[in-house]
Structure 1
């Protein structure tokens, strides 16, 4: 049985990314295709790794976090350990987002207060100008 392989353009098309994006992740040591002359040959493991990277980036993981998750991936195993680490990182990310949401809500309240003060100050200026004029 032969394993399906991908050229860089096939992999890019499959995941709707640019070849430049794939080369960037190679430079970061996150993908390691084999070579046939100058041609890069990607395996299903590379496809999974790239999917993990892209999903990780979408949910806010750092490149280092994505890389550590990829290093735990074992195409021959059940990936129980990797999945538990992923769940832990998801939980931590969710806590970060909840804190950021609280910070944003606090900032919105502060903006509301500043806006009200500006409107009040403008109203006072307008009233004092009308009275003086």
Structure 2
């Protein structure tokens, strides 16, 4: 789909298919102020900026960013032409996410060690039972 400015435009269905999300998800992002399509009657018309933003929202979600964090980055971009500000904010968010993930990774490693210990004890007791030793 293209509009009269020859800028490519997209329907909600086209974006939903391209990014493997539901139209309801896209409408939710619109309600949250993350996307702002134009309207032609009842139909939403998305421009390339909306498409890029949807891609960034989904990437942000995959990386563990909240929608509020994504929105604040968008607002920074919209109000400040200095990309250094956005880059510094992004670096700070990235550092925070990395710290959280490292803590989660350490917690998982600890749980895996505990599971290994429980499994080893169960195997030993089972082997003792099979050899006729009653524990």
Q: When the two structures are superposed, what TM-score results if normalisation uses the length of structure 1?
A: 0.81
The reply on whether 1:8 has 2:5 as its aligned counterpart is no
Q: How many residues align?
A: 130
Gaps of 5+ in 2: none
For the residue of structure 2 that corresponds to 1:72, the secondary structure is helix
* Equivalence for 1:31: 35
Note the C-alpha offset of 1:28. Answer: 2.5
Q: Could you say what the CA RMSD is over the residues aligned between the two structures, in angstroms?
A: 2.5
How far apart, in 2, do the equivalents of 1:102 and 1:96 lie?
A: 10
2-structure distance, mates of 1:95, 1:3: 45
Q: Does 1:121 align with 2:120?
A: no
Q: 1:120 to 1:24 in 2, by over 3 A?
A: same
Counterpart for residue 51 of structure 1: 55
TM-score (norm 2): 0.80
